[in-house]
């Protein structure tokens, strides 16, 4: 199957088994159910039950097709009401010449009301109820009443959809009414001067590499002397970082990679945070302001740069499957260029050097079950929730890997390598997590 064919088939809605094949021989296919613990005999049933509960919480949208020829005029999109509030139903009208008109409105999550003040010879049944009927012999009277028809939400829900039925004789129309509580606005004040320190916090995690962390901070202070740095630290033997603009948060020993990310980001008070590894190196090309320009000038939630010229980004393509789960395909590269930013592309994931909108990332979080090597897993959780971009024009350096002459440093380096390597059991655990949490049947790396 060619890549083009693979992408086309993703757009077709179906409930058959999705494809778990790679488009090239060198690709990897992980059939996730095979990586569950052998003694776990009820995982599939538990996953099914959890998925049913998930779908109850998620918004469901029915496909509404307008009839090709109908005397009913009605809105097919854009009608929205705040829970327990009342709105005027716009655009209701009948275009027909009949001796008598009987028009009905029916709702599930709301009630109707009309204004008939001063209008004679009209029959109204169901005022203030879920089913309203209007009977009249006069088309002008009918349309006048329809223009006064209101819908009142009777159920408090932050995001639901009521399909209102609008009917006359054999003609039936469906009007989608969105019942939605708009989220309260939360704005970040950049301060009177709006400098980079008021917009961005640097975040990192360190483990067994204090010498690398200190070199990172030394390089950072050459270009950003006052910007705040938050360090999540799960070392056993703690070394105090002496820097007035560094907040060092101590965790239980070897608590883990994603737990550290969660902790660091949870303490950010600025609009954005810049994630860096503790062995990175700021250079003249590490211009945070240029990444801020991208986020401020687009609707992106996260934008990555490049590390030592490695502009690493990837796509995640979700293929709908059957009851066994969906198929997720990983491919290198990006989807397409971002308008107005020729050095940037939309992508599914980026390198470990990225600027992100703090509150948006906290809405996804970093799964603390992933304690060692993990990165793509965050972007899998973020798929469909975060808008991701990758830019090549902002870069950061990487500290050279050298053999330490000091025996103590050499011992730390060896110990770090043990934690840094993905064991077979850790890989199995991660793949099993994808099976249950993300309801995937397979993960394919092309």
pLDDT of 418 reads: 58
**Which residue range(s) make up the domain with 126?**
76-180
Q: Are residues 153 and 224 in the same domain?
A: no
Q: Are residues 245 and 377 in the same domain?
A: yes
Lowest mean pLDDT among 39-53, 162-176, 238-252: 39-53
Cα separation, 221 vs 242, whole angstroms = 13
Give a yes or no: residue 145 inside a domain.
yes
Give a yes or no: residue 106 inside a domain.
yes
pLDDT of 103 reads: 98
pLDDT at residue 346 greater than cutoff 90? yes
pLDDT at residue 265 greater than cutoff 90? yes
Q: Are residues 266 and 137 in the same domain?
A: no
DSSP assignment of 265-298, as one string?
HHT--SSEEEE--TTEE--TT--HHHHHHHHHHS
pTM above 0.75, yes or no: yes
Q: Are residues 204 and 150 in the same domain?
A: no
Give a yes or no: residue 385 inside a domain.
yes
* CA distance to 241, 405, 419, per residue, from 412 (Å): 18, 12, 11
Cα separation, 107 vs 151, whole angstroms = 9
Q: What does the mean pLDDT of the chain come to? A: 90
| Domain CATH code at residue 81 | 2.60.40
Whose structure tokens read 């009927």? 133
Q: How many domains does the chain have?
A: 2
Give a yes or no: residue 3 inside a domain.
no
Q: Are residues 365 and 322 in the same domain?
A: yes
pLDDT digits (tens, 9 = 90+) for 68-118: 778 999 999 999 999 999 999 999 999 999 999 999 999 999 999 999 988
pLDDT of 406 reads: 64
Please say which residue of 145, 180, 215 terminates a domain. 180
pLDDT at residue 4 greater than cutoff 80? no
Please say which residue of 122, 146, 180 terminates a domain. 180
Angle, CA of 226, 261 and 202, to the nearest 5°: 15
pLDDT of 55 reads: 82
180 — phi, psi (to 5°)? Answer: -140, 130
pLDDT of 413 reads: 61
pLDDT at residue 236 greater than cutoff 70? yes
pLDDT digits (tens, 9 = 90+) for 360-384: 999 999 999 988 778 999 999 999 9
Give a yes or no: residue 187 inside a domain.
no
Confidence grade of residue 421 (pLDDT, cut at 50, 70, 90): low
pLDDT at residue 270 greater than cutoff 50? yes
Q: Do strands 101-106 and 131-136 pair parallel, antiparallel, or not at all (unpaired)?
A: antiparallel
Q: Are residues 298 and 383 in the same domain?
A: yes
| Domain CATH code at residue 281 | 3.90.550.10
Average pLDDT over residues 264-269: 97
pLDDT at residue 385 greater than cutoff 60? yes
Residues 6+ apart with CB under 8 A from 353: 274, 275, 276, 277, 280, 304, 305, 306, 307, 396
**Nearest 10 degrees: Cα torsion 233, 234, 237, 238:** 20
- Are the CB atoms for 131 and 101 separated by under 8 Å? no
Q: Are residues 136 and 247 in the same domain?
A: no
Give the residue, 9 or 128, on which the prediction is more confident: 128
Give a yes or no: residue 120 inside a domain.
yes
- Order of strands, sheet of 28-31, starting from the edge strand that comes earlier in the sequence: 28-31, 440-445, 325-332, 313-322, 349-350
Confidence grade of residue 38 (pLDDT, cut at 50, 70, 90): confident
Confidence grade of residue 197 (pLDDT, cut at 50, 70, 90): very high
pLDDT of 137 reads: 94
pLDDT of 429 reads: 86
pLDDT digits (tens, 9 = 90+) for 284-295: 999 999 999 999
Strand, coil or helix: 219: helix
Confidence grade of residue 405 (pLDDT, cut at 50, 70, 90): low
* CA distance to 210, 361, 404, 410, per residue, from 240 (Å): 10, 28, 22, 21
- Provide the token pair at 230: 């938050």
- Are the CB atoms for 328 and 384 separated by under 8 Å? no
pLDDT at residue 210 greater than cutoff 80? yes
Give a yes or no: residue 28 inside a domain.
no
Q: Residue 225: exposed, middle, or buried by beta-carbon count in 10 A (0-12, 13-18, 19+)?
A: exposed
pLDDT of 3 reads: 43
pLDDT digits (tens, 9 = 90+) for 212-227: 999 999 999 999 999 9
Average pLDDT over residues 345-353: 96
pLDDT at residue 10 greater than cutoff 70? no
With a pLDDT cut of 70, the percent of the chain lying above it is 91
Cα separation, 304 vs 389, whole angstroms = 6
pLDDT of 411 reads: 59
pLDDT of 252 reads: 96
> Residues 337, 274, 298, 363: is their CA dihedral positive or negative?
positive
Bridge partners of 316, per DSSP, are: 330
pLDDT digits (tens, 9 = 90+) for 309-341: 888 899 999 999 999 999 999 999 999 999 999
Q: Are residues 282 and 419 in the same domain?
A: yes
Give a yes or no: residue 63 inside a domain.
no
């Amino acid at each position: 199957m060619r890549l083009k064919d693979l992408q086309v088939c993703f757009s077709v809605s179906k409930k058959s088994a999705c494809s778990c094949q790679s488009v090239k021989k060198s690709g990897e296919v992980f059939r996730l159910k095979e990586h569950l613990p052998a003694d776990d005999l009820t995982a599939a049933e538990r996953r099914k039950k959890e998925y049913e509960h998930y779908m109850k919480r998620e918004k469901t949208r029915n496909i509404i097709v307008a009839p090709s020829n109908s005397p009913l005029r009605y809105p097919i999109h854009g009608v929205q009401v705040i829970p327990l509030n009342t709105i005027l139903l716009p655009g209701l009208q009948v275009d027909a010449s009949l001796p008598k008109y009987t028009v009905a409105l029916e709702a599930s999550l709301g009630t109707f009301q009309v204004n008939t003040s001063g209008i004679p010879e009209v029959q109204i049944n169901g005022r203030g109820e879920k089913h309203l009927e209007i009977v009249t012999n006069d088309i002008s009277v009918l349309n006048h009443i329809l223009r006064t028809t209101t819908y009142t939400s009777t159920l408090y829900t932050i995001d639901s959809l009521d399909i209102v039925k609008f009917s006359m004789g054999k003609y039936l129309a469906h009007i989608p009414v969105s019942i939605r509580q708009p989220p309260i606005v939360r704005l970040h004040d950049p301060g009177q001067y709006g400098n980079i320190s008021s917009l961005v916090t640097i975040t990192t995690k360190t483990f067994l590499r204090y010498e690398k962390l200190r070199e990172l901070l030394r390089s950072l202070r050459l270009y950003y002397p006052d910007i705040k740095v938050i360090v999540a630290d799960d070392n056993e033997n703690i070394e105090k970082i002496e820097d007035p603009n560094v907040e060092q948060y101590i965790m239980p020993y070897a608590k883990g990679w994603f737990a550290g990310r969660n902790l660091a980001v949870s303490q950010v008070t600025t609009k954005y945070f810049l994630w860096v590894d503790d062995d990175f190196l700021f250079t003249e090309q590490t211009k945070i302001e240029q990444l801020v320009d991208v986020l401020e000038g687009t609707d992106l939630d996260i934008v990555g740069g490049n590390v030592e010229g490695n502009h690493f980004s990837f796509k995640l393509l979700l293929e709908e499957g059957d009851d066994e789960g969906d198929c997720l395909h990983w491919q290198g590269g990006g989807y397409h260029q971002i308008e107005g930013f020729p050095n940037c592309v939309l992508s599914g994931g980026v390198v470990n050097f990225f600027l992100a909108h703090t509150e948006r990332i906290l809405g996804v979080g970093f799964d603390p079950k992933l304690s060692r090597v993990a990165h793509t897993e965050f972007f899998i959780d973020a798929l469909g929730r975060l808008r991701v971009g990758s830019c090549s024009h902002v870069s950061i350096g990487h500290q050279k890997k050298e053999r330490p002459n000091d025996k103590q440093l050499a011992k730390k380096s060896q110990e770090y390598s043990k934690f840094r390597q993905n064991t077979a059991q850790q890989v199995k655990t991660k793949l099993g997590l994808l099976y249950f949490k993300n309801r995937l049947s397979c993960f394919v790396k092309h």
